[in-house]
Amino acid sequence: MRIQFAVLLGLTTIGATPGAFAQQAKRPLKPADIYRLPSIGDPQPSPDGKWIAYTLTTIDSIKDKRTSAIWMISTDGSQDLRLTGSPEGESRPRWSPDGKYLSFLSSRQESKGSQVWLMDRRGGEGRRLTEIKGGVKDYAWSPDGKRLLLSLEGQEPEDTGKIKTTKPYVIDRYQYKQDVEGYRYKKLYTHLYIFDIDTKKLDTLTRGAYDDGSAVWSPDGAAVAFVSNRTEDPDKNENADIFIVSVKRGSTPRQLTTWKGSDNNPRWSPDGQWIAYTRSTGDADYIMYDQPVLALISKEGGEPKLLTKTLDRPVRNPRWTKDGKNIVAQVDDDRQQYLASFSSADGKMTKIADGPRSFGPAELMTDDNWLTTLSEPQLPAEIYILQNGTPRRLTHHMDEFLAPLSLASVEGFSSKSSDGTQVSGLIFRPATAAPGQRLPLILYIHGGPVGQDDYSFDLTRQMLAAGGYAVAAVNYRGSSGRGLDYCKIISADWGNKEVIDLHGAIDYLVKQGIADPARLGVGGWSYGGILTDYLIAADTRFKAAASGAGTGFTLSLYGVDQYINQYTNEIGAPWKSIDRYLKISYPLLKADRIRTPTLFLSGEKDFNVPTAGSEQMYQALRTLGIPTELIIYPGQFHGITMPSYQKDRLERYLAWYGKYLK
């Protein structure tokens, strides 16, 4: 057990001075640099606005794991202190309302799951507040600082039998698989509880066969708003509604919203009379191609006001201004994520901070300035304070990582598809590339498909560019940031318009003299892997491909992955829509058209896009005599999280493309 606090460490910084690498020649990024890259998250301002608590996650290459610690930086940036350092790590830093204490979640000292710990902000030993069997999923301080709102998952009774053979999984749920969670045979639900800090008494706030989450206290501490799906069978739809429950024993939750779609992220107004939240645009049982709208509703209920209905852009993470007149939120727009303020009266929007960069969620400071994170194409996310719309950088944890590196330049471009659609993209050019030099190109495709590539730091594309390639990121139809119609046009028509858009972008980059048409590569993960399979089956001009967590035979994954709602509502049941399934399964069914040497990769335990999708395509190419390899990462889910496997994946990308494109 080793716990480090500010009082013991004194002033501790992780960033090296800029001069430390002044005499060292800049070099390209390499896969081993993944071990040097920290990540910053969850910044929280103290009540007096003088300090920011946050998490810093680093990699231990010997233990092959990531560990998060709590840090605290003064708002003038002069002091940056590491507060925790247990091997188990810490997360979710939160200030007590009086600002005297900092709490966090940790499984340190052999805790049974993550527990809430409390430390004096001036330093000293942390003490464990909770001892909840199974641990705490999330928590929040009450406004008076006397209670905690806990999110806890129910626990199965212990098996006291002598035989330790695992019992059979007895499954009766409609959606019975979920990535990371696995087979959903346990009838365990997340509920809300009130924990008295002085007496350690735990009172149940919600119960039943439902999951409750995203809980927030009302400003007076008398009620809690939360999100739950309380339909007859939550597995069969995407519904989520906002409920309010009084913080009294025996209180019954009152349903506030009734939208058939999804209502999320409730936030009370400062006077406690209104709740801002995000609402899905659609109200169907399954809503893949959608974007959240900022909405406002009285705490008494009634018809909500849709403040951003005409904006036609996704709006996320609402936060009230101190006077309650405006709501600040993130907005996804074409290749950027900016912060904007919306009038609570009429929804009028004023941009706070934008540009070719990506802003994280905003948190209100005491003086109406905003705390956020900011990332740029050559800068991983750091913490900033927005003062009158001007970002002021606070943390410098990325300086040491960046100091020896020569990174790719990143520029936006716009291409026109064969059907006339304008498509936005980004092109990464190696730092060593000469002006006007035609380069081998790798089209690296984002997943989702709902999502977008933006002006933020992208380790994978930077790594590929460091290998001497131009790397393209293209926001094909289906991506967010360009409006709802642009996003949903690919519904039930996979591998069609996206492929047209991606080919149009390649044609543009070839015409502009950026890409060498004789040396084209393609790759991606998740939907990016699926589109890779579509592209190599639709065109033979790619000389190398790397398909991660993809599939070329959609029909075979019905009931095998976690997307049963999407299959049922978007494509239809196979016995009713077999022609649709066969149409969107053309990569495997027309595999004899493929000529591209392809590397297939997957996580062994992936229930999102199961390994079977990669195995089938690998087997087809192997049968046809096309050069191919299949890489399975043991014990990994859809997202590869083990650092050594992440490094291995990058090394394999570079080796595979290097073999066929150089």
Query: Is pLDDT at 160 greater than 80 in this prediction?
Result: no
Angle (nearest 5°) at CA 592 between 589 and 594: 105
Query: Could you tell me what percent of the chain has a pLDDT over 70?
Result: 95
Q: Report the distance separating Cα 601 and Cα 26, nearest Å.
A: 32
Orientation of helix 459-466 relative to helix 643-661, angle to 10°: 40
Q: What confidence category does residue 161 fall into, taking pLDDT thresholds of 50, 70 and 90? A: low
Residue 157 confidence (pLDDT): 55
Residue 112 confidence (pLDDT): 80
Q: How much is the average pLDDT of 513-538? A: 98
CB atoms near residue 162 (< 10 Å): 5
DSSP tag of 113: S
* Mean pLDDT score across all residues of the chain: 93
pLDDT tens digits along 242-257:
999 999 988 999 999 9
In one-letter notation, the amino acid at residue 83 is: L
Encoded tokens for 591: 């595999």
For 291, list phi and psi in degrees, rounded to 5: -150, 140
pLDDT tens digits along 300-356:
999 999 999 999 999 999 999 999 999 999 999 999 999 999 999 999 999 999 999
Query: Is pLDDT at 7 greater than 60 in this prediction?
Result: no
Residue 525 confidence (pLDDT): 98
Cβ partners under 8 Å of residue 156, min gap 6: 186, 188
Residue 166 confidence (pLDDT): 86
Query: Is pLDDT at 657 greater than 80 in this prediction?
Result: yes
pTM score, whole prediction:
0.92
Answer yes or no: are the C-beta atoms of 290 and 236 closer than 8 Å: no
Q: What confidence category does residue 156 fall into, taking pLDDT thresholds of 50, 70 and 90? A: low
Q: How remote is the C-alpha of 639 from its chain's centroid?
A: 11
Query: Could you tell me what percent of the chain has a pLDDT over 90?
Result: 88
How far is the CA of 270 from the CAs of 326, 338, 364, 368, 539, in angstroms?
Answer: 11, 24, 12, 13, 57
Q: Report the distance separating Cα 170 and Cα 522, nearest Å.
A: 42
Query: Is pLDDT at 6 greater than 90 in this prediction?
Result: no
Query: Is pLDDT at 23 greater than 60 in this prediction?
Result: no
| SS3 state of residue 208 | coil
Domains and CATH numbers, the chain: 1-13+26-130 (2.120.10.60), 407-661 (3.40.50.1820)
pLDDT tens digits along 342-392:
999 999 999 999 999 999 999 999 877 999 999 999 999 999 999 988 999
Specify the higher pLDDT residue, 96 or 22.
96
Q: Report the distance separating Cα 388 and Cα 375, nearest Å.
A: 19
Answer yes or no: are the C-beta atoms of 148 and 141 closer than 8 Å: yes
Q: How much is the average pLDDT of 446-471? A: 97
**Cis bond upstream, residue 449 (ω within 30):** yes
CB atoms near residue 37 (< 10 Å): 19
Q: Report the distance separating Cα 500 and Cα 506, nearest Å.
A: 10
Q: Report the distance separating Cα 610 and Cα 632, nearest Å.
A: 11
Cβ partners under 8 Å of residue 172, min gap 6: none
Residue 337 confidence (pLDDT): 97
How far is the CA of 117 from the CAs of 50, 71, 107, 452, in angstroms?
Answer: 22, 15, 9, 37
Locate tokens 């589109």: which residue? 531
Pairing between strand 439-445 and 470-475?
parallel
Answer yes or no: are the C-beta atoms of 375 and 358 closer than 8 Å: yes
Residue 524 confidence (pLDDT): 98
Cβ partners under 8 Å of residue 657, min gap 6: 440, 442, 464, 467, 469, 521, 523, 544, 546
Q: What confidence category does residue 162 fall into, taking pLDDT thresholds of 50, 70 and 90? A: low
Residue 220 confidence (pLDDT): 97
> Which of 626, 556, 573 lies closest to 596, judged by CA?
626
Locate tokens 């049974």: which residue? 112
pLDDT tens digits along 584-634:
999 999 999 999 999 999 999 999 999 999 999 999 999 999 999 999 999
Q: How remote is the C-alpha of 218 from its chain's centroid?
A: 27
pLDDT tens digits along 182-224:
999 888 899 999 999 999 999 999 999 999 999 999 999 999 9
Residue 233 confidence (pLDDT): 93
Q: What confidence category does residue 501 fall into, taking pLDDT thresholds of 50, 70 and 90? A: very high
Q: What confidence category does residue 2 fall into, taking pLDDT thresholds of 50, 70 and 90? A: very low
Answer yes or no: are the C-beta atoms of 626 and 596 closer than 8 Å: yes
In one-letter notation, the amino acid at residue 20 is: A
> Which of 419, 460, 433, 423 lies closest to 515, judged by CA?
433
Answer yes or no: are the C-beta atoms of 118 and 136 closer than 8 Å: no
